A and B are shown apart, each in its own frame.
Chain A
């Protein structure tokens, strides 16, 4: 990309500058820190110049937007054509409560929806299960049956939207821990979904391969990138092994990344992710359809960086993180609300979060051109390093026999726990400074209003679910569950049509999952620390 002769000259002049100008300055006044590093503790240099990029090739390493390897973006016009989708993850209390929040957000200019389910739903328990006690509607919306879904999306123009299910079980074992079944039967459910959706709901995004939770559990940026791509590889391989041609399902895979605090590290991560996935899909899996090569992703700002201290400062953190997602070329974005270390967001807090995206989109000017940081010495070098270091992890996981095996050995779990511990030690030692936590403390905190979940939600939800069970066609429900049980024992049967039938017959989620727990077994936490 650069003239070699010129590069040699630049390098020589840099050396001279280092010896004659920089060194004397450093002797007189040393730098603020002994070592500068990212939030992931990757060392950052004083100055980035062209010479380390001497082998850099514009066409091979960047390409134009919408062209392989998509480093600059997956669409030829990016945000000049259409802004990213502003999609706030929302859910609390009852289906009615969340439906009202959805409608409020849409009325404020939100352009997509994302449902946060409460933990009993994620773990496959109905609201009247003893396991759900105290948790109904607390961290998301309570959904037990189709009845709740009907209320949840009442009055929302579903015909106008596509959809995505998260459906990424591997990151559950690594980080988020909302699992039900062991890895193998879980992977079967995923390949059943891939196959069912490619035939029946071709516009549906079948998996959102998620690094978000891996990062929230304390991983570094490189680990987030590496483990997420390795999860993606595992799903593609599972689809191929199940006999589905790669180009039939790969275009519907999408990604989900965290927008953490270190601005440039995050931007480099998104750019590296696109390039890695393009190369993996073309060279490793021999996908032919260009849409299989494109890594499309959702971004959410990092919940774990929000502080309970001086919570108003979180608005600023979220704005910086959101900006990194936009400069990294995200397809959709969730901005956290300032109060989310304390509770689910109030309407006022979530409005500020949405407005943050709208200000970036409409006022900052960053959406006027594509990949404005492309070609920056620093950003390109960071992107290269990110890819190299993440690929080292990917190779290591390949050597272990793939992600499912690596998870069974506890490898990614251990790596994440080690990184989380290391970061906490840096914070406690004051080597990483967090405003309001270990620097710039305020003697007095101003409390902010918090959302409360009414205790009545649990009682009403339990009553509704029992009513659903009473009113449905009991014979049909029983038959659906029997068919599901039988299907789960036959590896060649696709479970999806059976699950859809059961849902239509108002069989509850807990009943379906109880049936599958019987035949597929349950996964329990290895509890390593």
Chain B
């Protein structure tokens, strides 16, 4: 797992407003990480603290990394067609860990007709191919706050 913490960010005094912390995750067995890496880099450049899980993560691995890193949001990149299994599974695991307030968003190859179903199950936002990066950065900045 790669982190992009600023120097001393982890030890920052509690009262200071800390940066938003996002986990960029690649669940499933596919190796398409071009999008995930671009988003991770763009969010980092925009001042977000980004933790990237790397490839081939199980839902359990992603939720455990999210808990360990105490993230405010999780962005999943899924191009394997397994989104209808992976998103709901991760939402269930987050709720089991009392982390239901972590904002879950994602993107990849996800047919339009599946998006309302995913949103209904608790995915905050699904980005489709061709979305400008700035739109995703703006979404994260506008929607996601440090938890608690």
Contacts and interface: CB of A to CB of B under 8 A. Distances in A.
The answer to whether A and B assemble together is yes
B130 A133 contact: no
B129 A420 contact: no
Contact of B30 (A139, A175, A434): A139
Interface string A404-440: 0000000000000100110011011000001011100
Interface size for chain A: under 10, 10 to 19, 20 to 34, or 35 or more residues? 35 or more
Contacts of B30: 119, 135, 139
A128 to B, nearest CB: 14
Contacts of B29: 119-120, 122-123, 125, 131-132, 135, 178
Contacts of B132: 427-428, 438
Given A131-B58, A529-B2, A420 B38 contact: yes
A450 B114 CA distance: 12
B134 A307 contact: no
Given A216-B34, A307-B130, A123 B2 contact: no
B84 interface: yes
Nearest to B39: A529
A343 B56 CA distance: 20
A421 B81 contact: no
B99 to A, nearest CB: 21
A341 B129 contact: yes
A424 B37 contact: no
Given A177-B31, A527-B2, A123 B56 contact: yes
B137 to A, nearest CB: 10
B109 A342 contact: yes
A421 B28 contact: no
Contacts of A341: 109, 129
A240 to B, nearest CB: 30
Contact of B34 (A138, A172, A217, A307): A217
A218 interface: yes
B40 interface: yes
Given A134-B85, A138-B81, A304-B34, A525 B130 contact: no
B105 interface: no
A309 interface: yes
A46 interface: no
Interface in B64-121: 80-82, 84-86, 89, 109, 111-112
Contacts of B33: 177, 217, 525
Contacts of A421: 37-38, 41-42
A277 to B, nearest CB: 26
Interface string A153-181: 00000000000000000001001111000
Contacts of A132: 29
Interface string B35-56: 0111011101000001011111
B128 A308 contact: yes
Nearest to A528: B2
Nearest to A303: B32
Given A119-B30, A135-B28, A453-B81, A527 B53 contact: yes
Interface size for chain B: under 10, 10 to 19, 20 to 34, or 35 or more residues? 35 or more
Contacts of A216: 34
B9 interface: no
A191 to B, nearest CB: 24
B41 A342 contact: no
Interface string A384-402: 0000000000000000000
B55 A138 contact: no
Contacts of B134: 428
B134 to A, nearest CB: 6
Contacts of A524: 54, 56
Contacts of B50: 529
Contact of A134 (B2, B28, B112): B28
A127 to B, nearest CB: 12
B133 to A, nearest CB: 6
Contacts of B54: 524-527
B1 interface: yes
Contacts of B133: 424-425, 428
Nearest to A417: B37
Interface string A342-366: 1110000000000000000000000
B1 A527 contact: yes
23 contacts: A119-B29, A122-B29, A131-B58, A133-B85, A134-B28, A134-B82, A134-B84, A139-B30, A172-B31, A177-B31, A304-B34, A307-B130, A308-B129, A341-B129, A342-B109, A420-B37, A421-B41, A424-B38, A424-B133, A434-B130, A524-B54, A528-B37, A529-B4
Q: 9 closest A-B pairs (Cβ-Cβ)?
A: A177-B31, A134-B85, A527-B54, A525-B54, A119-B29, A134-B82, A138-B81, A529-B37, A529-B40
Interface of A: 119-120, 122-123, 125, 130-135, 138-139, 172, 175-178, 216-218, 304, 307-309, 341-344, 417, 420-421, 424-425, 427-428, 434, 436-438, 447, 450, 453, 524-529
Given A177-B56, A417-B37, 10 more contacts: A134-B28, A135-B28, A138-B80, A177-B55, A178-B31, A344-B81, A421-B41, A527-B1, A529-B36, A529-B44
